[in-house]
Homo-oligomer: A and B are copies of this chain.
Amino acid sequence: MGKFVKIDCAGNHRRAPGRPRSERARRAILSCTLRFLENRRNGFADLTIEHVAASAEVGKATVYRWWPNKAALVADAFAGSVTRKLHFPDTGSVMQDMNLQMRQLVKILRSRRGNLVSAILGGGQSDRTLITAFRERFMMPRRSEAYVTLQRGIDRGELPASLDMDLLLDALYGPIYLRFLIRHDPLTPEFVDELCTVVFGRFQAAASKAKAAPPPGR
């Protein structure tokens, strides 16, 4: 960052001296990393900087110059790949909104992209920076959106104001990741439905009652 761009007192950008960083190399490295992780079942452990450099037709030192270690590289590659498909819709029903997004997540986890996620989460157990990258660059942005969606539900009276959002989100997404990581049972859209039923169950009864007799404050 500051390594490449100098800003003079007038606020003008001034390029550092010397040959500028090759954008081509950067892109090739990240995309080779990504391709590798997506296509190999045993991602992180098998991925070697040697191989990445070779297949990106790049010097090994170029990789090391910009990423301190394999985890950083993978985290970066992952961050750059984060899908744009995981936004929450606004259908008018929180449960519907959550359900749709969860189905989308399940779809992605079951695709080649899922290998990438499992590589990150698996490798992350040995390398704190990886799991941090996953958390901050993938999970948190989505949680922020989820908060908004849930708040809409609260505002609409579908959910109680006292709701612990993080607890609810863990209850919704934990089981999905459990099946994804342990693979004891299939991870299907139907599972998402049933899961929503379990977690949202107690609110639905309340909500339907609330619907029949709308809240007094309204």
Contacts and interface: CB of A to CB of B under 8 A. Distances in A.
A135 B181 CA distance: 10
A125 B123 CA distance: 8
Interface in A141-175: 164, 166-168, 170-171, 173-175
A178 interface: yes
A185 interface: yes
A124, A126, A127, A205 interface centre (most CB from chain B within 10 Å): A126
Interface string A161-198: 00010111011011111110111110000010011001
Contact of A179 (B41, B127, B170, B183): B170
Contacts of A179: 170, 174
Contact of A42 (B41, B126, B177): B126
A145 to B, nearest CB: 15
A122 B171 CA distance: 21
A50 to B, nearest CB: 13
B181 A126 contact: no
A182 to B, nearest CB: 6
Contacts of A201: 201-202
A108 interface: no
Nearest to A115: B125
